[in-house]
Amino acid sequence: MVDADRGSLFLVEGAAAGKKSLVSKFFDVHAGTPLLPCGSTENSNEVQVPWGKGIIGYVAEHGETVNIPDAYQDRRFNDEIDKLTGYKTKSLLCMPIRNSDGEIIGVAQAINKTPGGAPFSDDDEKVMQMYLPFCGIAIANAQLFAASRKEYDRSRALLEVVNDLFEEQTDLEKIVKKIMHRAQTLLKCERCSVLLLEDIESPVVKFTKSFELLSPKCSADAESSFKDSVEKSSSYSDWLINNSIAELVASTGLPVNVSDAYQDPRFDAEADQISGFHIRSVLCVPIWNSNHQIIGVAQVLNRLDGKPFDDADQRLFEAFVIFCGLGINNTIMYDQVKKSWAKQSVALDVLSYHATCSKAEVDKFKAANIPLVSELGIDDIHFDDFSLDVDAMITAALRMFMELGMVQKFKIDYETLCRWLLTVRKNYRMVLYHNWRHAFNVCQLMFAMLTTGGFQEILTEIEILALIVGCLCHDLDHRGTNNAFQAKSGSALAQLYGTSATLEHHHFNHAVMILQSEGHNIFANLSSKDYSDLMQLLKQSILATDLTLYFERRTEFFELVSKCGYDWNIKDHREIFRSMLMTACDLGAVTKPWEISRQATELVTSEFFEQGDRERFELKLTPSAIFDRNRKDELPRLQLEWIDSICMPLYECLVKLNVKLKPMLDSVAVNRGRDQNPLIPAYFCNCV
């Protein structure tokens, strides 16, 4: 259009003013040149012009048209390209290319007017001025499309990263290698490194693991030399986990982008000397976990095209490393879970050996003659809680199972039942009150209420089995301290189960653990449905001994009874009733004759005082009155309040439901009316 012999097109690259340059997309185009960008062939080399330098740089910076009849007479002209190509530049017309916003996005250059080398005319300038806006539109659209395509490719690559990382979360080395392969693909770099911190909580930055990957696009000789030098030099590994750039990123949490490593004082050139690999540019970013803690750093070295890493590279790498952090963190957590599982497995194995009964004990009770109910007196509501020794309580428990027909009905293996009872006994700690005797006494009272009150005709056999087993297991592994103490002390139990019914959840889980131990499953012959129903009922029974649950449901129970609205066909009514039975048995020491109740009172009071001592000396807290031995003069008043507000209403309601339970209520009234100064009775066991 302007009769030029040759022409060139330079486009602006770099966003910031200090980083802008002009790069040839078409250079030295003439009649015989194929119209392909310089970057389209591997052997072609692009021409890069610094911003503001030479005629092209001047036009780009100032936005002015330059029309020179003789280039060699203009001080801005650089003849280096002429020297390289052997081509003689004479006349030259150079104009800026703008986008729709008026920003300069490139420079077009026409060289040597033909024929005869005359200068470019004013008409030529007008032609180019009319033509270049259309070029600007086309170039801007192409750049937008290229940017959109690039973002699409990067987004797709990040999705592939997510898929990769969350596909493999069992092996740290495998997932880090995937990360490094993906980083090299995304950022087209020669090398990638990942360094993980030894202790993320420590203020001192210390890397414990390092991973290195060289791009396959590096030459085979370079890769071989790098691997040999690294393998032979332990000092290189030391440098990797002690280099100052990585330490700076790990300590500050800020990325570092070094365009020229040898000009940066933080760079240690010793690594290049050791490895034989020349580092030009470094992009290093922190790796965060889901709790926003730095767990390591990732760095890429040397873009394959020789350019430094730009802002777009940094943004992409930071986005990529977010997913990497999650993947690495999940893999580390998985490893910790595996170790925890192994520890738990070992602990359960130890427990099953040390916390289960011996074969000799099982054989002894398996062969023993079991006294009748009448001989043991276990059907008496006023049974003496202290009349049987520890072995006699086992035989009495066996008799209860047989008397209720559970051994026959549920095909319970007798040897398994003996073993289970002995192991349950062994898993009660030697605390003052919440021990095996208390568990047996609660079970005995449940047995007496079921048989005396005739509840066998109302409750199903599955429900009765759940209640009896629940009573025996309801305080398994009790530590002599209540739920409030677990919460105040931040115990492992409170952390594991939370602060609601902490101990009760632990008692149930401990019961399940015993049932799952080899040779202890007394429910082995139940159908799958019966087994599922039974375990649900067992959990309800044990959790019902938490007085918080009792307080939540007793109003509903009292109203149903007072309005004669109890319907045994309604599932919820049956559940409330079973819960009230569990509470009545758990607090049952107050229903026993005075001497039995007094003896139980002394035990529970001593246990409470021990907890109060621990609160005072270990937790540095002032215990409440019922736990404070220094305030024992307040106990009688608290006892009477407890009987009147908690115990008496429950037993009165049960008597309304079944008059055969009246002896229990009568005993509570007698004990309340004693002239002696009363102490806190056993029904305080779960309060506060």
**CA-based radius of gyration for the chain:** 43
Give 437's pLDDT tier (boundaries 50, 70, 90): very high
> Which strands make up the sheet holding 104-113, listed edge to edge?
48-50, 21-29, 4-13, 104-113, 92-98, 66-68
Interatomic CA distance for residues 385 and 383, integer angstroms: 6
Asked if residue 229 lies in contact with residue 275, where contact means CB atoms within 8 angstroms, the answer is: yes
Strand partners, 12: 22
As a whole number, mean pLDDT of residues 31-46 equals 48
Residues of the chain with pLDDT > 90, as a percent, come to 42
Asked if residue 191 lies in contact with residue 277, where contact means CB atoms within 8 angstroms, the answer is: yes
Both structure tokens of 557: 């129970």
For 315-358, the DSSP string reads: HHHHHHHHHHHHHHHHHHHHHHHHHHHHHHHHHHHHHHHHSS--
Both structure tokens of 45: 């080399």
Asked if residue 247 lies in contact with residue 209, where contact means CB atoms within 8 angstroms, the answer is: no
Entry pTM: 0.58
Q: Is the C-alpha dihedral spanning 522, 525, 530, 531 positive or negative?
A: positive
468-488 pLDDT, tens digit per residue, is 999 999 999 999 999 999 999
Both structure tokens of 137: 């539109």
Asked if residue 211 lies in contact with residue 183, where contact means CB atoms within 8 angstroms, the answer is: no
Inform me whether the pLDDT recorded for 202 exceeds 50. Answer: yes
Inform me whether the pLDDT recorded for 683 exceeds 50. Answer: no
As a whole number, mean pLDDT of residues 565-573 equals 90
Inform me whether the pLDDT recorded for 37 exceeds 50. Answer: no
Inform me whether the pLDDT recorded for 228 exceeds 80. Answer: no
Alpha-carbon distance values, 620 to 479, 485, 491, 610 (Å): 20, 12, 15, 14
Interatomic CA distance for residues 157 and 154, integer angstroms: 5
- Look-up of token digits 């290698």: 177
pLDDT at 236: 43
Asked if residue 156 lies in contact with residue 319, where contact means CB atoms within 8 angstroms, the answer is: no
pLDDT at 346: 61
| Cis, bond preceding 37 (omega within 30 deg of 0) | no
379-426 pLDDT, tens digit per residue, is 999 999 999 999 999 999 999 999 999 999 999 999 999 999 999 999
Inform me whether the pLDDT recorded for 54 exceeds 90. Answer: no
CB atoms within 10 A of CB 35: 6
SS3 253: coil
Helix segments in 260-310, DSSP class H? 270-275
Higher-pLDDT residue of 184 and 461 is: 461
Interatomic CA distance for residues 189 and 589, integer angstroms: 78
Inform me whether the pLDDT recorded for 666 exceeds 90. Answer: yes
pLDDT at 330: 77
Among the ranges given (149-158, 514-523, 601-610), the one the predictor scored with the smallest mean pLDDT: 149-158
As a whole number, mean pLDDT of residues 323-347 equals 73
Instruction: State which H helix or E strand residue 21 sits in.
Output: strand 21-29
Interatomic CA distance for residues 367 and 58, integer angstroms: 108
Inform me whether the pLDDT recorded for 549 exceeds 60. Answer: yes
Inform me whether the pLDDT recorded for 40 exceeds 50. Answer: no
Identify each DSSP E strand in 215-343 by its residue range: 256-258, 282-288, 294-303
Instruction: State which H helix or E strand residue 314 sits in.
Output: helix 311-354
As a whole number, mean pLDDT of residues 182-196 equals 83
CB atoms within 10 A of CB 398: 20
As a whole number, mean pLDDT of residues 524-551 equals 95
pLDDT at 352: 62
As a whole number, mean pLDDT of residues 589-607 equals 93
**Nearest 5°: CA angle at 612, between 607 and 617?**
125
Higher-pLDDT residue of 214 and 429 is: 429
Among the ranges given (339-343, 559-563, 629-633), the one the predictor scored with the smallest mean pLDDT: 339-343
As a whole number, mean pLDDT of residues 255-280 equals 80
As a whole number, mean pLDDT of residues 160-181 equals 71
Contacts of 318 (CB under 8 A, 6+ apart): 255, 285
As a whole number, mean pLDDT of residues 235-239 equals 47
Each residue of 289-325: b (16+ CB within 10 Å) or e? beeeebbbbbbbbbbeeebbbbeebbebbebbbebbb
As a whole number, mean pLDDT of residues 507-531 equals 94
pLDDT at 345: 67
pLDDT at 167: 65
Q: Provide the mean pLDDT of the chain.
A: 84
- Look-up of token digits 């049960």: 654
Give 686's pLDDT tier (boundaries 50, 70, 90): very low
Higher-pLDDT residue of 13 and 32 is: 13
Contacts 24+ apart (CB under 8 A), 167-174: 168/331, 169/327, 169/330, 169/331, 169/334, 170/331, 170/334, 171/331, 172/209, 172/328, 172/331, 172/332, 172/335, 173/211
Inform me whether the pLDDT recorded for 592 exceeds 80. Answer: yes
The one catalytic residue in 434, 438, 510, 520 is: 434
End-to-end CA distance of the chain: 97
Contacts of 675 (CB under 8 A, 6+ apart): none
Give 613's pLDDT tier (boundaries 50, 70, 90): very high
Inform me whether the pLDDT recorded for 11 exceeds 80. Answer: yes
As a whole number, mean pLDDT of residues 435-447 equals 97
As a whole number, mean pLDDT of residues 338-356 equals 66
Asked if residue 456 lies in contact with residue 446, where contact means CB atoms within 8 angstroms, the answer is: no
Give 528's pLDDT tier (boundaries 50, 70, 90): very high
pLDDT at 217: 66
434 catalytic per annotation: yes
- How far out from the chain centre does Cα 385 lie? 48
